[in-house]
Structure 1
Amino acid sequence: MQRISVIGNISRDQTRYPDGHGNDQLGGAALHVARAAIRAGARATPVSVIGGDLRSLPHHPALSGVDWTALRVTTGPSARFVMHYDERGRLLNLKAAYGASSQLTDHAVDHITRHPRDLYHVCCRRPLNVPQVLKLLTDSDIGFSVDFFLSSADELIGEAAPWLPHASWIFANAREYALLDSVFDASVLGGIVVTDGPRPVRLISRGSQVAEATPPATAPVEVTGAGDTLTGTYLARIACGNGMSAALEAAVDAASRHTTAPPLMLHRN
């Protein structure tokens, strides 16, 4: 089985909700996607850059199965994100301090060059130079998938557009899918997994819906990372040979369970 290399941030996250609760936790799309893929049976590594404040990350007791060979530790602080949600778990605003993640593009290009046989998932977030990375993957004929984050999706979908028809899978929420639909004839896009809160998750291929899965009713504890968990689980199940419908069901179940589990807290040796 090919290893899944997940290009994206690992960060310190602060989440805040209207009722006053929230968490200070480990986060970042690359960490959540890779962790979910490993739990679902795949080989996966986060291609990320962190600062010295998270240097003990590979020793975190909840992350013992993660392949850390693509992690770069540098000086300075790691990326930090503060996310405010509404009462339905929808993101209202995001404050970012990228820190060590400003080196992510160079690190990702180096990793792709040295590991052209991996499968790649690109978390299309700032500060990554998304066009540079997607162009390299496309020109090198390397399989890849992508996802976006709503706070920057307007910009980054436009920047990524020339290479999205080459993506094996695109993961988007309903609003991001509407942005994609405004840019593309849907028939040129291979596979799109569209989430929509508690409503059914749809799998659309070449403009036609081919599967859907309804999330179970839950009482969420923390929504951050749920979409990334869905993405990692789906990619892993596809890599393991599952059909699209089975992979989607497993991914939706994993994402729902993620929202009811305690967040991944910072750990000190």
Structure 2
Amino acid sequence: MKRLDVIGNISRDVTHYPDHRGGARLGGAALLLSMAVTRAGSRAAPVCVLGGDLAHLPQAPGFDTIDWSALAQADGASTTFDLRYDLQGDLVAVHPDYGVAEGLTAHALRHTDRHPRGPYHVCCRRPLDVGAVLGQLVRNGAAFSLDFFLPSAEAMIRAAGRWLPMASTLFVNAAEYWLLEQMVDSRTLPEVVVTDGPRAAVVRHFGQRAASVVPPAHPPREVSGAGDTLAGTFLALRSQGATTSRALAEATAAATRYVAAPALPIPVPRRA
């Protein structure tokens, strides 16, 4: 089974909710999706740039199942996000500081040049130059999947538009799917996984519904990262031969368990 290389950020996040939930946590789509892949029994490597504040992460307890060989380290601070949600779990404001992730595009292009065939998952989020990365993946003949982040989704979908029909799977929430339909004919897209919070998650093949699952009911502690967990689990199970329906059911269950669990703490560097 081939390793999935996940192009994206690893970040230090602070989440806020009106009922005073939230706080500092480890985040970033490249990390959370890679962790979901490995929990589902496959291999994953984040293609990311870490600053000195998270340089110890690969050696921290609990992260040894991830393949860190695609990591780049740089002087400076890692990406940080300040994320504000409403009581329904919808993101209402985000304040990023990309830090050393400004170098992610250059690192991703070098990595995909050295490892041209993939498979890859691209987390379509700023500051990544999505057009440059997808263009190189297509030229290399690599298999790839994509996901988006609502605050930047419209711009990222436009930037990725010409390559979207070449993606094996797209992961979007309901609001992102509406944006997607305004710009791309959904009948040209091989597979789209659409999530909608506690409502049914749906898989569409070339615009036609192929599977639908209502997530298990469970009060969430923290919604940030639920989509990454679902995507990583789904991709891992599909690569292992699971049917679309089974992969979607297990992926929604994994996302439900994730949001009900305590947030991922930022590990403290070990003392020498």
**What TM-score results when the alignment is normalised by the length of structure 2?**
0.98
Asked if 1:229 is matched to 2:229, the reply is yes
Distance 2:178 2:224 in 1: 22
- Listed one character per residue, the Cα deviations across residues 142-191 of structure 1 (whole Å, up to 9, x for unaligned) are 00000000000011111110100100000000011011111122110010
Q: Distance in 2 between matches of 1:210 and 1:118?
A: 26
- Separation (CA, whole Å) in 2 of partners of 1:261 and 1:66: 20
Give % identity: 49
* Helix, strand or coil at the partner of 1:68: coil
Q: C-alpha offsets along residues 171-220 of structure 1, whole Å, 9 cap, x if unaligned?
A: 00001101111112211001000000111000001110010111011111
* 2:220 equivalent in structure 1: 220
Matches within 5 A, 1:28-43: 28-43=28-43
One-letter code of the match for 2:132? Q
4+ residue segments displaced more than 2 Å: none
Task: Confirm or deny: 8 A CA contact 2:117 2:141 kept in the other structure.
Answer: no
Paired residues in the alignment total: 269
Q: Is the 8 A contact 2:21 2:221 kept in 1?
A: no
CA distance in 1, matches of 2:210, 2:216: 20
* In 1, Cα distance between equivalents of 2:62 and 2:222: 17
Paired position in structure 2 for 1:21: 21
**Aligned twin of 2:178:** 178
Q: C-alpha separation between the residues in 2 aligned to 1:174 and 1:60? A: 35
Distance 1:153 1:120 in 2: 19
Q: Which runs of 5 or more structure 2 residues have no equivalent in the other structure?
A: none
* Match in the other structure for 2:152: 152
Q: Distance in 2 between matches of 1:10 and 1:189?
A: 28
Tell me how far 1:118 sits from its aligned partner: 2.4
- Structure 2 distance, partners of 1:52, 1:184, is 40
Structure 2 residue aligned with 1:135: 135
Corresponding residue of 1:211: 211
Residue by residue over 1:69-110, the C-alpha shift from the partner in whole angstroms, topping out at 9 and shown as x without a partner, is: 111111000000000000011000000000010000011011
Compute the TM-score of the two structures, normalised by the length of structure 1.
0.99
Counterpart residue identity of residue 248, structure 2 = L
Q: Which runs of 5+ in 1 are unaligned?
A: none
